[in-house]
A and B are shown apart, each in its own frame.
Chain A
Amino acid sequence: MEQPILSIQNATKIFGGGFLSSSKPIVALDRFSLDVYESQSKIITIAGESGSGKTTLANMILGFTPCTEGKITFNGIDLNQMNGEQRSFYRQEVQAIFQDPYEVYNPFFRVAHIFDMITRHFKLARSKKEAQELIEEALNLVGMRGGEILEKYPHQLSGGQRQRVMVARAYMLRPKLIVADEPVSAVDASLRAMILDIMLRLRDTRHISFLYITHDLSTAYQISDLMYVLFQGTTVERGNTAKIIEDPRHPYVQELIDSIPVPNPKIKWNMNIKLPSEEVMRMKNTVGCRFYPRCPKRMDACTKAFPPMVKVSEEHEVACYLYQ
């Protein structure tokens, strides 16, 4: 059995609720597990609504937020116990693309600064000329040319250009995994396809895996291989993307897929979602299923304990008592 390069084991993040804190602890991510293998580059979708813990997960993988419980290991080394050299290697192997393609540029510097930082600090090139060639190659991959953009300031580029530069930057490090936190949410619809296409190309030709974090199930369906659906920090359904989208089992995922607007004005999306009152929503079910207050098929068993992962078919698991 191949060892995963990145392994997330029961990663849990609890915010607040410290010794002197008056606020109640909030479980942002609850016992999340995921393995990424080097031999099979995959696009793995982490889907969920806002507040489901998607971005917390990204921050934990990138080392910005430590785990409260559980651990994330890279080649067997715990992320929180890495020395400088190991961390530097990890940074090179696991890169990121963020949602807002403007925020990630320091407004004080030209676009070339983005590339200067990585060539200098990862020692990617021995000479200026070599660095130039690397940058040019990475930019060509995303359909851009260095002469046109490198000497410009970030605000002089369009949103799509800025996001493509970020993809080029991540690619230049030849990582094994790119954490893409809503990479197309802030980009024009016309450019979305282009960036998604680059992701597919990087997966197939450069063997880079992606953690595609999104709330948009239609793009996930189109490009991703595996999918994890989060609800309030818990994994409710996971497995093969096509299987989940075509045959969703968890009541929450069923509701989610029914509510995708179809680009056809004659077909209205599902309007049957009834949100319970704010109090019920806020009251966190820390013991049972988190979806209980909104679930149309709720049972008494749901409040007793968190439902275990049930295998419903090959590469398709769901955390719901309905299938036990």
Chain B
Amino acid sequence: MTVEETVDPKESPATRRVNVWDSPWLNTKFLVGGSIIVVVILFGLLGPFFWNTELAYTASSPTNLPPMWMAKGSPEHPLGTESNGRDMLASLIVGIPASLRVGVLAATLGMGIGVLLGSLAGYLGGWWDHVIRTISDSVLIIPSLAVLIAIASYVQFPDTTMLALVLAMFAWPGPTRLVRSQVLTLRERGYIRMALLSNVPPLEIMFVEMVPNMLPWLAASFTGNISGAILGATGLEALGLGPTRVPSLGMIINYAMTSSALVRGMVWWWLPPILALIIIFTGFFLMTVGLDEIANPRLRGYGNGGK
């Protein structure tokens, strides 16, 4: 496998490879991880068409019902209800996309800032590089959860968007470093020299010539950042510092903790949000590893093309 195959997913495979299925993008880890995330997203997207999401709000259902397969369970609340009168299935249908949304939003913002600052630092170098690198390295070593807890105890987040913005403050140094190092290697490439000789202005070189060639790296960093942001958001919510109105996975965990669900044996309350998080993290982790293998052919090992 050559490097150029990984860089250009759009090319018509039939003209290049005897076997169309011999594509680095058909990486097993990436595909399995991607499928898991697609199923999770579909659960959140299609759920509202099959189930009444109003049941996710307080006092909409009878309290403390076990799931339907246990004694006293009712088919009207298949996954049971909790002490505040919320239906568990409805809570998951609303909570999973809410948590995903925070993660995607924070990671997108972090990525955007990272690509911008990383490109400037790597390409312009000198003074720009020094300032950007110093700030990003400083932010990187700050224990983000501690700072987030401090911020969250002063600011009551009205909605998840605000939470995502605060999380993005800690999501940009990683991508910045990654993009900077990539730009440093890319700027020595022949095609960047050709662009310089073609009088292409610096911004166009950065964002038209370089960024497309970083896509696999950016994608790997992006999926990794999404799970990082979800982890941060869930941590805050579980501590009761997140938005309290909209149900999210972290909020379910918080209520389960404060209502002693563990001691009362209400497994159907505390386990589902944790399982959902495990599934989401596994999906993004597999995607990140898979994308990493796509971006770095050397990680793929010999002979099997990473499959």
Q: Which residues of A contact B (CB under 8 A)?
A: 62, 64, 88, 91-92, 95-96, 98, 100, 102-108, 114, 117-118, 121-122, 153, 155-156
Contacts and interface: CB of A to CB of B under 8 A. Distances in A.
Given A103-B191, A106-B191, A107-B213, A95 B197 contact: yes
A156 B10 CA distance: 13
A121 to B, nearest CB: 4
B195 to A, nearest CB: 6
A114 B195 CA distance: 8
A64 B188 CA distance: 10
B19 interface: no
Given A114-B194, A153-B11, A88 B199 contact: yes
Looking at A92, A98, A106, A155, which has the most chain B CB atoms within 10 Å of its CB? A106
A62 B7 contact: no
- Secondary structure call for the B interface: helix
Given A64-B193, A114-B194, A153-B11, A107 B199 contact: no
Given A98-B190, A103-B191, A108 B213 contact: yes
A227 B280 CA distance: 66
Contacts of B201: 121
Contacts of B189: 103
Interface of B: 4, 7-8, 11, 15-16, 189-191, 193-201, 209, 212-213
A122 B199 contact: yes
A100 B190 contact: yes
A104 B195 CA distance: 9
Contacts of A156: 15-16
Contact of B198 (A103, A121, A155): A121
A119 to B, nearest CB: 9
Nearest to A59: B193
Contacts of B8: 107-108, 153
A108 B212 contact: yes
Contacts of B198: 91, 114, 117-118, 121-122
Contacts of B7: 107-108
Nearest to B194: A104
A106 B201 CA distance: 16
Contacts of A98: 190, 193-194
6 contacts: A105-B194, A107-B191, A114-B194, A117-B194, A121-B200, A122-B199
Nearest to B210: A106
Contacts of B16: 155-156
B213 A117 contact: no
A276 to B, nearest CB: 33
Contacts of A118: 198-199
A91 B190 contact: no
Given A153-B8, A155-B16, A104 B199 contact: no
Contacts of A104: 190-191, 193-194
Contacts of A103: 189-191
Nearest to A100: B190
